[in-house]
A and B are shown apart, each in its own frame.
Chain A
Amino acid sequence: MIGALLTSPPLASIGGALEFIFTPQDSSVTGGKQVGGFDQVVELTLSQLELTLLALGLSLLVALPISLYLGHRGTGELFAVVLGNVGRAIPELALIAFMAAAIGVGVLNLTIALAVLGIPPILANTFVGIHQVDRATVDAARGMGMTEFEILRKVEIPLAIPTLFAGLRGATIAIVATATIAPLAGVESLGDFILGENVYGSNGVLAGAIVVALLALALEFAFAALQRLLTSPGLKLRSA
């Protein structure tokens, strides 16, 4: 036993991490049960993705109606800007730890905590995007007989897509990053690998970090592609 404690753990390697991702490994503490491997990596990736999308959905549900309304009315600029700035100052670790300690662990509480990180960037950017649409354009739409809702849906939102997506992508980055420490709130995610070196070994930690980074990049690419798809052809011409 003492000998095992004295020998330092083997340093992680890319090869070892890749092996961990694709084939289950022996662990020193699970009593013969193998850890890692493709199935568990996929399971935890999906768990983190689900958590991220849930929190993102909740953020949108809260932030979009408020910011679209305020942006269209052109009121509440101070509120939106201050909230956007304050949101950046929220320390992720303290937020998750406080949520877990004061309110309780579990998927619902964690989703709310993650949405707290996602709401400010979405709200601030959506407000700015809608608010900065040329007033002359909006007046022209009104003159054509559009209702206020049509103006928002057919004129303001399409013109604000780039700014809107900047907020959405910022929120996604913050949420998927913080979902990594979900195990601290008793919820499974790829953070299990990263924070569980005694179970998964140093290769498991590195494997977790690699998969988290790939997941974040994949989400960023997906939203960038979605943004391109939703940007009206006219706007693309203007930026080219």
Chain B
Amino acid sequence: MADPSLVAAVGEVGGDFFKERTSETLPCQATDALFCWDWAKDNLDRYGTPTVQHVELVVISVVLGFAIAFGLALLAHRRRWLQPPLLAATGALYTIPSIAFFFLLLPITGRGRDTAIIALSAYTLQIIYRNTVIGLANVPRSVKEAARGMGLTERQVLWKVEVPLARPEIFAGLQIATVSTVAIATLAVFAGGGGLGAPIKAGIDFKTNIIIAGGIAILMAIAFGLALLAAQRLWTPWKRAETA
């Protein structure tokens, strides 16, 4: 049994995250080692819940951001005069630092995951919106004329010709937004939103902990990036034909 005073001291360092098995972090923190394999092996399971929370934060935020940005882009595609004000508005949301956004929302939405999700999805709007508008604008006029000539209605031209041909740009925007959101979601802990920022904040001077949590975040960003790349290749078969 470890000395209770030591356990208490480590508990203060670790905060909530290290409330259990706190005595085990002490030998590792004391050695000044960059990474303790033994501690990591025994405690990797602690990062399960934060990882799942992190995935949820990212997926919900990006899906929400995509739905809004895609809708706005379709609207701006039809009503061109909306493009400058929408670009400015999404640009302003992109510029406001997420962490400031969390605390600006606190008096309105309170602490919790909802606040984090609102701020994170606001951050994704600009990239997805701009890429979708560019993608739709890049569809050659002749292709649209051919579609109309074949008797497609305007709605069919949009959904069967323009949106499919804009997929490379849309996926590129989605990929950038998702990877950035994985990284920024580490700050969601300051809004009370959990995620991988929680263990980092709880054990901010414990290097092994930071490396594990940060490493999971980086791997998650890479995994999301690669998954979206695969989805893009699957959904844009003509691109594969071009490069082949």
Contacts and interface: CB of A to CB of B under 8 A. Distances in A.
Contacts of B34: 102
A11 B107 contact: yes
Interface in A54-101: 85, 88-95, 97-98, 100-101
Interface stretch (B15-23, B66-74, B138-146, B200-208): B200-208
Interface of A is mostly: helix
Contacts of A177: 97-100
Given A85-B225, A102-B34, A92 B106 contact: no
Interface in B168-193: 176, 179-180, 182-184, 186-187, 189-190
A89 B225 contact: yes
22 contacts: A88-B221, A89-B218, A89-B225, A91-B196, A92-B186, A93-B197, A93-B201, A94-B196, A98-B207, A98-B211, A178-B97, A194-B190, A205-B103, A205-B106, A209-B99, A209-B102, A210-B104, A216-B95, A217-B92, A217-B96, A220-B91, A220-B95
Among A88, A98, A176, the most chain B Cβ lie within 10 Å of the Cβ of A88
A181 interface: yes
A217 B91 CA distance: 10
Given A206-B103, A213-B96, 16 more contacts: A88-B221, A91-B221, A93-B189, A97-B200, A101-B207, A173-B97, A177-B97, A177-B98, A184-B204, A194-B190, A206-B106, A206-B107, A208-B100, A209-B101, A216-B97, A216-B100
B96 A91 contact: no
B94 A173 contact: yes
A122 interface: no
A91 B206 contact: no
B213 interface: yes
Contact of A89 (B99, B179, B204): B179
Contacts of A191: 99
Contact of A94 (B104, B186, B225): B186
Contacts of A14: 107
Interface residues of A, number: 39
B164 interface: no
Interface in A86-132: 88-95, 97-98, 100-102
Contacts of A212: 97, 99-100
Contacts of A11: 107
B120 interface: no
A210 to B, nearest CB: 7
Interface of B: 34, 91-92, 94-104, 106-107, 176, 179-180, 182-184, 186-187, 189-190, 196-197, 200-201, 204-207, 210-211, 213-214, 217-218, 221-222, 225
Contacts of A137: none
A225 to B, nearest CB: 14
Interface of A: 11-14, 85, 88-95, 97-98, 100-102, 173, 176-178, 180-181, 184, 191, 194-195, 202, 205-206, 208-210, 212-213, 216-217, 220
A141 to B, nearest CB: 29
A50 to B, nearest CB: 17
A219 B141 CA distance: 38
Contact of B99 (A95, A180, A202, A217): A180
Nearest to B217: A91
A205 B190 CA distance: 12
B207 A217 contact: no
A159 to B, nearest CB: 20
A91 B218 contact: yes
Contacts of B104: 206, 209-210, 213
Nearest to A89: B221
B97 A176 contact: yes
A162 to B, nearest CB: 14
Given A98-B211, A177-B98, A213-B97, A93 B103 contact: no
Contacts of B186: 91-94
A217 B190 CA distance: 21
A129 B99 CA distance: 31
B135 to A, nearest CB: 17
A216 B225 contact: no
Given A89-B218, A212-B100, A217-B95, A181 B182 contact: no
